[in-house]
Amino acid sequence: MQIEVLKSKIHRVKVTGADLNYIGSITIDADLLEAANMIEGEKVSIVNVNNGERFETYIIKGTKGSGEITLNGPAARRVQKDDIIIVISYALMDFEEAKTFKPWVIFPNENNNSLKQ
């Protein structure tokens, strides 16, 4: 049996921009992606702490060290600059493997860097 479990989470990161006139997705600083073991093109769930919105999109890799968290396209309507969001990805795995799997969870600071795990 396979189940879907938490793979990676960027917990409480600040939105730096919202670009309605883009084709869609979320742009995330490459340093944050690396620390959270996420990759460009990966499907993610976004939870907006400020307004309760929940939606899905995919990742675009941002500039390393920029602290960028930009929601693009229609997702830009669900956030405002400086909102706090949680970015979550999931993975399918065998039930027994899932019992011992440890997800990557990171906690960026107020500048979206200087990570602690």
Q: How far apart are CA 32 and CA 24, in angstroms?
A: 19
Query: Choosing from 8, 22, 45, 58, which is the catalytic residue?
Result: 58
Query: Choosing from 22, 25, 45, 66, which is the catalytic residue?
Result: 25
Q: How far apart are CA 22 and CA 112, in angstroms?
A: 22
Question: Does the annotation mark 90 as catalytic?
Answer: no
Question: Does the annotation mark 22 as catalytic?
Answer: no
Q: How far apart are CA 10 and CA 109, in angstroms?
A: 11
CA end-to-end span of the chain, whole Å?
A: 30
Q: How far apart are CA 113 and CA 6, in angstroms?
A: 22
> What are the catalytic residues?
25, 58
